[in-house]
Structure 1
Amino acid sequence: MPKVPYKPEKSGEDDEDYEIVSFEDFCDKSPGSKTDLLTLNDNINYRLCYENDKITKSAEPEGESSQSGDRQTETSLNGPKSVTFKRKLSNSFAPFGRHNAKTGRAPLFSGVIPKSRNEESTSREHRYQRFSERRNICQRIWDNLPGVGSGMLGVALVCALCVGAWWVVGGAVGGTWGEEHYRKLWERTHPDTIKKPLSPLPYEKLPEYRYHDHNNLSTKNKINGTTESRKKTELNKKNVYPNRTAEFLQDMCSKMDEINRFDCFPQGNANEKDCNKRGCCWKSTETHGVPYCFYPSHYDSFHFINMTEDKHGMNVYMEKVRPSGYPGDFEVARMDIKYLSDECLQIKIYDAEHKRFEPPQPEIVMVPKPLSRTKYRVQVDMSYVGFKIIRNSDNVTIINTQDIGGLILSDKFLQISAVLSSSHIFGLGEKRARFMNNVNWNTFALFNRDRAPTEDVNLYGTHPFYLAVEHDGKSHGMLLINSNAMDIVLQPTPGITYRTIGGILNLFVFMGPSPKEVVAQYTELVGRPFMPPYWSLGFHLSRFNYGSVNETRRVWKANRDAGIPFDVQWNDIDYMSDHNDFTYDKVNFAGLPEFVKEVHNEGMHYVIIIDPGIGESLTPNTYPPYDRGVEMDIFVKNATNQIFVGQVWNKGHTVFPDFTHPNATSYWVEMMTDFHKQVPYDGAWIDMNEPSNFVDAPVGGACAAEAAPYRPRTSDPHLHTHTLCMDAKHFLADHYDLHNLYATAEAIATHFALSEIRGKRPFIISRATFVGFGRYGGHWSGDIASDWHDMRMTLPELLSFSLFGIPMMGADICGFNRDTTEELCKRWMQLGAFYPFSRNHNTNDAKPQDPASLGPAVAGASRAALRLRYELLPYYYTLFWRAHVQGDTVVRPLFFEAPEQNNLHDIDDQFMVGPYVMITPILAQGATTARGVFPPPQCWYNILDGQFLAVDKSMEVTENETVSVKGGGIIPLQAPPPQGPVTTTITRSAPLQLMVVPDIRHQAEGELYWDDGDSMNSYQEKKYSHIEFLLNGTELESSVQWWGYGVPSLNKITILSQPAIKSVMVNDQPCVKPCAFTYQNQTRLLTITVNLSLDKPFKVRWTYKPKPNSSWRNWMPGQKKSLHMHW
């Protein structure tokens, strides 16, 4: 029976609050509890007073009931909501165990005493003996004697002594002490259990549910025992857990389906003996990936000992029941469930007695929002450890951890498993895999590692966040914030298991219900993506080892002369002197500062690489970055508190800044500022920041043994392989805890430094990332190979990082390692031109692959694709603004626009740019077409010529049809100049154009965000303009949402899929010179040439030429295929 605390209304004589609990709930309290026994007596009398009123209510005449002014209506504690009681305002019950002289009702019982327990008993057996008073006629006379008068006091005392002697003798002889009275009381309050055994079998559980209800906070302090004395008593108890017989366990195990097995022995080398020792099931199978050793149902690793709740969440204490098999078990764990908003909640599970490491990033402001219409409720069942999260709209359990696998909480191994509402799981990276995760017993590790991307290995980033999409499109997400190395297991239940080797389990759940909303809720928590400078959306060109400033200049000029749209020139570490940060080679790169000024003079920008490793200087005062670092004490230390010395690219040895040190940011700003005075760079490329170390230990030393009871399935034999030792010392914690955070800490310092140096928006691209990194920088996919498979696999990673809140994402176009080919680079440029971060980069021992170097075919394809990208940059920029202010994605999977269309869920060889532009790249060697899916209900058009392509169809597209636009959008454009170099500096000054693409209802919408493209806080300081566009039938209009920065004028409007045009009106005036319009019968395009200022609203209307037996609404191509959906 649920324990529902209740506080009666106060009357003049009721000056205390009482908690109403069930009898067995009180008796199941800990022996160490200091609960007032008299309160229990009072509570039980109080409840039975109500029950007595309930019984007698039906016997009361209707008139009496209605005229009883000294009664108040109460709601039944356990009965139906419609049942009420009448409470008398007089003192109708015996408070604090006193006999009530007015009613003659005696106290029901006076206390409980602990019952001894043997080693074989379980936590489910009753832990107390009950006793009650036998009150006879003599006692009642004694209770009434004070009213007789002082003259009868002596007689009363004599009678009392006689009655006491008789009671003691009777109790000793009978041995029952009122047991019959207790039995009747028990039968009265528990009629459903009269014929049931009082002690249930060890494996049976009596469910008791806790539902979060924001409108009913009566569950506050449901269980007593929050005092320190209770905690100490509970800790001193010996852990007792069900000791099931082998036959019983075997019977339970045989009934469990394979897909419901959760691994009980993930270390490997499991055997039946060790498995059974953990209380788990053993059963071999021929199915690959299915565990032999698995948890049975009702596997009690912990049990609840205390729970409180308020309007912001629950706090639950759990005590260890059985040893986990891993050292350092948490004896008492705490689970905090916090309702952060109507769409987001936190479940934090940690050691209740000892402080443990928690990542300082991402910075999360834990300020719960007011709750109005929550999309979830949380169920806590006191007989199972764990929780359920239920979606309120349809009562679907989206996450269930109750009696699922084993909750393991120990010093260096923490595990939690859950059954999910869908097997369509996305996210969980960084990894090389398809976008929709394989849930067929798939285990992958997350631990930042310098390794060229391949399948089934841990890569550069750690993002333990997934998006689950159900068959009807409803979605949710869950994030684990934990920076230690971990494994994640997906299985076909569908289920997920998180296993990490340190920290705590800090889970956040996002309710959506659409995929877009899940990502927006996620980025609201971990940090919105940074607003990039406009120039960073242009094309970037780089190479490892140009070798000299002269070669860098030659490649830069050759691509400009070839008409390749181009904005940013990069240099890799070859520009440095001896590969040391904050230096440049005065021989091979003499004149580098002058070259950077030349780049700036052409309206372009320059980015340098900065590795975190600082060269160790053996000669004092010869390399300031090292000398200042030693002086400021900001380098990572080894186990003996000496500077940790490794080896990376530097000619000598390498030391590593500790970016958690209080002086580290000042040091980094100082170094970057001093170098910027020499070479005025515009952005930073931070590489090798997993961090990478070419030796697996300190130079001349060794790492301490990694005595972890569980090693995640990383690609290396040790965690310290190719990085720092796990016992290396940072200011904040050991590297064991901080490894995955290293890049984020570096990015924060770099972001701050660039802001201070340039006074403009920072631009940072990083190889390693962690949760929330998108707030500071972007990412590229690392050292991929120049082959067709690697080009294909850049798409799933691009989509995954959109989920992770890092929209500034791309890959090395044409590949990094090995030689590319003309065909591969052509196709890759046609694809990479539409990556949010678009850069061509390759290694030093491969042939040049910049567009101008590979011949006219590659140069021509690159020029055409990049010109279209530059034309779309106002659209891209507006998408990045939306990502920055409300968490939208820039690039997204097809199903984001129609999540209920299940056939779109596994498509990852196409992608959307915003809601209206779709890319269908050619990805196969020798192919001249690509098969694309064009989802209903809207029509799709070729963005180049406006021709109708398809609707609700899968079809082949040529290389001139790989970019399509969906009906319903209005796309802002800026056409590059037809001849000469193309940069964002040039295109930003060009007039704006609108491409209007009606949907099947002849409606469309779009928007434009515009600012100066480089200033910090333009949006926050209102130095921007925001304009919305709306098409309704044959009328197009604009509305100025905010005007704070000048926007180029509008000179062209193109409306797709129109019948023959009769006339055009602009702002209610006929379109006459300089206004003009043209109509093409074959393409059915209406083009209107105008000269409109966008600082005020405009309106454009047109009419059609009449056509017999026709209506303008019947002119939509593919209409018949759409009628059944919307018309």
Structure 2
Amino acid sequence: MEAAEKEEISVKDEAVDKNIFRDCNRNRILQKQWLSKKSTYQVLLDSVTTVEDSTRFQIINEASKVPLLAEIYGIEGNIFRLKINEESPLKPRYEVPDVLTSKPSTVRLIPCSGDTGSLILADEKGDLKCHITANPFKVDLVSEEEVVMSINSLGQLYFEHLQILQKQRTAKENEEEASVDTSQENQEDLGLWEEKFGKFVDIKANGPLSIGLDFSFNLYGIPQHCRWNYEDEQDVKAVDAGFDEHDIPYDAVWLDIEHTEGKRYFTWDKKRFPNPKKMQELLRSKKRKLVVISDPHIKIDPDYSVYVKAKDQGFFVKNQEGEDFEGVRKWNGDSYYIDIINVGGSTDILFLWNDMNEPSVFRGPEQTMQKNVIHYGNWEHRELHNIYGFYHQMATAEGLIQRSKGKERPFVLTRSFFAGSQKYGAVWTGDNTAEWSYLKISIPMLLTLSITGISFCGADIGGFIGNPETELLVRWYQAGAYQPFFRGHATMNTKRREPWLFGEEHTRLIREAIRERYGLLPYWYSLFYHAHVASQPVMRPLWVEFPNELKTFDMEDEYMLGEHFLINYITEPKATTVDVWYDCKTFAYWEGGCTVKIPVALDTIPVFQRGGSVVPIKTTVGKSTGWMTESSYGLRVALSTKGSSVGELYLDDGHSFQYLHQQQFLHRKFSFCSSVLINSSADQRGHYSSKCVVEQILVLGLRKEPSSVITHLSDGKDQPVAFMYCAKTSTLSLKKLSLNIATDWEVHII
């Protein structure tokens, strides 16, 4: 293409141009699903067999007569897995490997007596049962005699089997198989074998492959990161110094593609960044990190070493002709697509961010890769599209682990993800806009990600596109401070928005929000420990903690941070009141199970600690998390109506795998009952030395002033403690303590 003919594509176009995408009316798969008459599937009960880890049976469709094989697995933890495939497909369908860390532990399912025409499966405990109705095919999951989920209750199962195009069959085959599927002519009319969109043609060798199924449910990088892109080394140094000057902690600087030489990943622009290692050493001296971008497309350039190595070793995706698939990227022109980690000019504080890995292909069909390009193993892209970003992030994480010879944990942020991506790093919601509506929608988006297992998630603070008004930016920082992944990010076409550029008052408000987040890092880290070992979401919809309160199921303007904090964020300008439960900042106690209104101002972040909880905090905030490793702890004890509380702290070195391989971790339990606060071990397997002490304890909801407070240590020594009691707020404050976080002790309130 001549230079004068090249099409300009702006960031704004990329984010909002809907004409390059198909809507439902132009989607052939959806049209086929809609136009198809409801066809009945039934279970052949005489085909039921039970093997060691599953129960299997055939399902037949009345029209196609193609037998499907259904397999039901019982998995530890009251989990059922249903798998449906053709019994004898023309070729294997792609089954996703690598998602699970290990094969799930199965439990044997026992057939129980049921009605004629049905099959009931249960484990030995019988807590959860699987009811299978034969005709029409339906599966109900039943707990305590209540149906909690139904599969195919609306009869929407639609399974398109692999086929051979009739034109390719012999006359004899056509004659013999005419009864198998009489709808191919209609399929061809719909364009489902050869589908056109714009200038692109998608040829499907085995016909349409859509699968539909209905499900019905009854009601029954933790610190702060900042912006794309900084201009050069001096800009990075100036911004780093600005955070220190204004006493605002942060942990990572981000560099987008402009840091590279000619848009070639894993390189440095020698004019803008003449000494990247020295720049990284400056950040290291403040215990901070650097994150650079790595997209999956590699610029076609015979002088680019990454391109040459990948080309020589055949690592690029292929087109139908077996040649390297060539896509066009706005950033770096003609490109090939690959997964590779080979970072040059880096130190061990440099980490990676995977963008555009859906994959994004400008001037491709719907700005992505054509479905018939070929991947390793001769799989078409249509089979792998949803997991392309997963493997990009996986390869990046494994490359970073190899860089440290298996000693250090990686950090990788990704835009595209799949089930299991939580193993490899964080996810963000993509390019958003600096508008109040985008702040509002970010919370349900993050809650949805959280309950699907992606706990380390967040949205760009302030909006990626556009310039936020000052009030919106402050409110976004206040909301983001209580979200798992916290990054201020914006396109380079926006105005600079460092926190100190909006006047001292607004700088103070942003500083307070960020410092409050850093103070809660012990609580954050303990939440991520439970996400790691038990898949408990860090951000939780209210119904997770209050499943019997039906009104919580449609509440999207507030959420739980773990089980101890309720967060109610402001998403409207000029807000003066907000619905809440009880206050954490002023220590005012509000009865649960009701809605109240309290006044709010721009300096108000509606955050409420749950009665019955003990939350560990850091008493001082440093320049970054690295500066806070040895700083003292505080405990915020919020009493329940019964005068009791529980909480915990998980602690390890924060960067290596020694917690896993050598059991070097600390897991402590805090309990308050009968006016005694106890610190004890929650996991005897862990052994991690810490010099940190609990310096402060704040007890909320103590209705009576004590006469004395005494600490009791594990060596038997008792020590009286000075205290302050406020009758107005019913709070007891203990300061200047020196109770080692890693040892057993008690605090007696008399």
Does TM, normalized by the shorter one, top 0.5?
Answer: yes
The correspondence for 2:234, drawn from 541, 550, 556, is: 550
In structure 2, distance between residues paired with 1:830 and 1:397: 37
In structure 1, distance between residues paired with 2:369 and 2:29: 26
Q: Is the 8 A contact 2:613 2:645 kept in 1?
A: yes
Q: Is the 8 A contact 1:342 1:374 kept in 2?
A: no
> After superposition, what is the alpha-carbon deviation per residue over 1:551-571, rounded to whole angstroms, capped at 9, x for unaligned?
122122112211111111111
> After superposition, what is the alpha-carbon deviation per residue over 1:868-925, rounded to whole angstroms, capped at 9, x for unaligned?
1111100000000011011111111122111110111111111211111122122101
Q: Is the 8 A contact 2:41 2:137 kept in 1?
A: no
In structure 1, distance between residues paired with 2:285 and 2:148: 60
SS at match of 2:83: strand
SS at match of 1:948: coil
Bigger fraction of residues in strand:
2
In the superposition, relative to structure 1, how do residues 266 and 841 fare at CA in structure 2: closer, same or farther (>3 Å)?
Answer: closer
In the superposition, relative to structure 1, how do residues 996 and 642 fare at CA in structure 2: closer, same or farther (>3 Å)?
Answer: same
The correspondence for 2:397, drawn from 735, 751, 755, is: 751
SS at match of 2:225: strand
Pairwise CA distance, 1:395: 4.3
SS at match of 2:396: helix
Query: Quick check: 1:616 aligned with 2:616?
Result: no
SS at match of 2:85: strand
Query: Quick check: 1:375 aligned with 2:119?
Result: no
In the superposition, relative to structure 1, how do residues 881 and 856 fare at CA in structure 2: closer, same or farther (>3 Å)?
Answer: same
> After superposition, what is the alpha-carbon deviation per residue over 1:123-177, rounded to whole angstroms, capped at 9, x for unaligned?
xxxxxxxxxxxxxxxxxxxxxxxxxxxxxxxxxxxxxxxxxxxxxxxxxxxxxxx
Query: Quick check: 1:541 aligned with 2:226?
Result: yes
Query: Quick check: 1:1055 aligned with 2:723?
Result: no
1:358 corresponds in structure 2 to 95
The correspondence for 2:671, drawn from 1024, 1030, 1035, is: 1030
In the superposition, relative to structure 1, how do residues 605 and 404 fare at CA in structure 2: closer, same or farther (>3 Å)?
Answer: same
> After superposition, what is the alpha-carbon deviation per residue over 1:624-664, rounded to whole angstroms, capped at 9, x for unaligned?
1000001111000111000011111444411001x4xxxxx
1:530 corresponds in structure 2 to none
1:131 corresponds in structure 2 to none
In structure 1, distance between residues paired with 2:626 and 2:551: 42
1:177 corresponds in structure 2 to none
One-letter identity of the residue aligned with 2:399 = A
In the superposition, relative to structure 1, how do residues 616 and 862 fare at CA in structure 2: closer, same or farther (>3 Å)?
Answer: same
Query: Quick check: 1:626 aligned with 2:271?
Result: no
2:7 corresponds in structure 1 to none
One-letter identity of the residue aligned with 2:310 = G
SS at match of 2:707: strand
In structure 1, distance between residues paired with 2:573 and 2:492: 25
Q: Is the 8 A contact 1:356 1:503 kept in 2?
A: no
2:69 corresponds in structure 1 to 334
2:466 corresponds in structure 1 to 818
1:62 corresponds in structure 2 to none
In structure 2, distance between residues paired with 1:1051 and 1:1057: 20
In structure 2, distance between residues paired with 1:681 and 1:1097: 36
1:161 corresponds in structure 2 to none
Q: Is the 8 A contact 1:349 1:505 kept in 2?
A: no
Pairwise CA distance, 1:832: 1.0
> After superposition, what is the alpha-carbon deviation per residue over 1:1022-1063, rounded to whole angstroms, capped at 9, x for unaligned?
101111011003111111233511231111111112222211
Within 5 A, what are the aligned runs for 1:700-849? 720-732=365-377, 733-758=379-404, 759-849=407-497
In structure 2, distance between residues paired with 1:352 and 1:392: 31
The correspondence for 2:81, drawn from 346, 362, 370, is: 346
In the superposition, relative to structure 1, how do residues 725 and 948 fare at CA in structure 2: closer, same or farther (>3 Å)?
Answer: same
> After superposition, what is the alpha-carbon deviation per residue over 1:179-219, rounded to whole angstroms, capped at 9, x for unaligned?
xxxxxxxxxxxxxxxxxxxxxxxxxxxxxxxxxxxxxxxxx
Q: Is the 8 A contact 2:43 2:58 kept in 1?
A: no
> After superposition, what is the alpha-carbon deviation per residue over 1:459-486, rounded to whole angstroms, capped at 9, x for unaligned?
xxxxxxxxxxxxxxxxxxxxxxxxx9xx
Pairwise CA distance, 1:946: 2.4
Q: Is the 8 A contact 1:637 1:729 kept in 2?
A: yes
Pairwise CA distance, 1:837: 0.7
Within 5 A, what are the aligned runs for 1:272-671? 280=37, 295=38, 299=40, 306-310=47-51, 312-323=53-64, 331-341=66-76, 343-354=78-89, 355-363=92-100, 365-369=103-107, 371-382=123-134, 384-396=135-147, 398-401=149-152, 404-411=155-162, 502=209, 536-544=221-229, 546-617=230-301, 619=302, 622-657=303-338, 659=339, 668-669=340-341, 671=342
In structure 2, distance between residues paired with 1:895 and 1:651: 46
Within 5 A, what are the aligned runs for 1:1079-1118? 1079-1089=725-735, 1090-1103=737-750
In structure 2, distance between residues paired with 1:1013 and 1:960: 31
2:117 corresponds in structure 1 to none
Query: Quick check: 1:941 aligned with 2:583?
Result: yes
Q: Is the 8 A contact 1:580 1:650 kept in 2?
A: no
SS at match of 1:792: helix
Pairwise CA distance, 1:331: 2.1
In structure 2, distance between residues paired with 1:741 and 1:925: 39
Q: Is the 8 A contact 1:578 1:650 kept in 2?
A: no
* Higher-Rg member (1/2): 1
In structure 2, distance between residues paired with 1:818 and 1:406: 44
Q: Is the 8 A contact 1:342 1:373 kept in 2?
A: no
Kindly tell me the number of residue pairs found equivalent between the two proteins.
651
Q: Is the 8 A contact 1:357 1:503 kept in 2?
A: no
The correspondence for 1:908, drawn from 556, 561, 567, is: 556
> After superposition, what is the alpha-carbon deviation per residue over 1:841-887, rounded to whole angstroms, capped at 9, x for unaligned?
10111101121222223311111011111111000000000110111
Q: Give the alignment's TM-score, normalised by structure 1.
A: 0.55
Q: Which runs of 5+ in 2 are unaligned?
A: 1-27, 109-122, 165-201
In the superposition, relative to structure 1, how do residues 915 and 957 fare at CA in structure 2: closer, same or farther (>3 Å)?
Answer: farther
> After superposition, what is the alpha-carbon deviation per residue over 1:707-735, rounded to whole angstroms, capped at 9, x for unaligned?
xxxxxxxxxxxxx3211111111013111
In the superposition, relative to structure 1, how do residues 903 and 501 fare at CA in structure 2: closer, same or farther (>3 Å)?
Answer: farther
Q: Is the 8 A contact 1:560 1:566 kept in 2?
A: no
Q: Is the 8 A contact 1:376 1:389 kept in 2?
A: no
In structure 2, distance between residues paired with 1:976 and 1:1086: 20
Pairwise CA distance, 1:574: 1.0
One-letter identity of the residue aligned with 1:388 = V
In structure 2, distance between residues paired with 1:305 and 1:1062: 76
Within 5 A, what are the aligned runs for 1:82-97? none
1:1039 corresponds in structure 2 to 680
RMSD: 2.9
Q: Is the 8 A contact 1:388 1:401 kept in 2?
A: yes
> After superposition, what is the alpha-carbon deviation per residue over 1:90-129, rounded to whole angstroms, capped at 9, x for unaligned?
xxxxxxxxxxxxxxxxxxxxxxxxxxxxxxxxxxxxxxxx
In the superposition, relative to structure 1, how do residues 501 and 755 fare at CA in structure 2: closer, same or farther (>3 Å)?
Answer: farther
One-letter identity of the residue aligned with 1:947 = A
In structure 1, distance between residues paired with 2:513 and 2:445: 21
Pairwise CA distance, 1:410: 2.5
Q: Is the 8 A contact 2:58 2:67 kept in 1?
A: yes
One-letter identity of the residue aligned with 1:607 = V
Pairwise CA distance, 1:389: 2.4
The correspondence for 1:1065, drawn from 675, 693, 710, is: 710
Q: Which runs of 5+ in 1 are unaligned?
A: 1-264, 281-294, 324-329, 414-483, 485-499, 516-535, 660-667, 697-719, 935-939, 1104-1127
Within 5 A, what are the aligned runs for 1:911-922? 911-922=559-570
Pairwise CA distance, 1:623: 0.9
Pairwise CA distance, 1:950: 4.9
Q: Is the 8 A contact 2:353 2:414 kept in 1?
A: yes
SS at match of 1:1062: coil
SS at match of 1:537: coil
Q: Is the 8 A contact 2:288 2:349 kept in 1?
A: no
Pairwise CA distance, 1:409: 3.4
2:6 corresponds in structure 1 to none
SS at match of 2:679: strand
Q: Percent identity?
A: 24
In structure 2, distance between residues paired with 1:406 and 1:997: 50
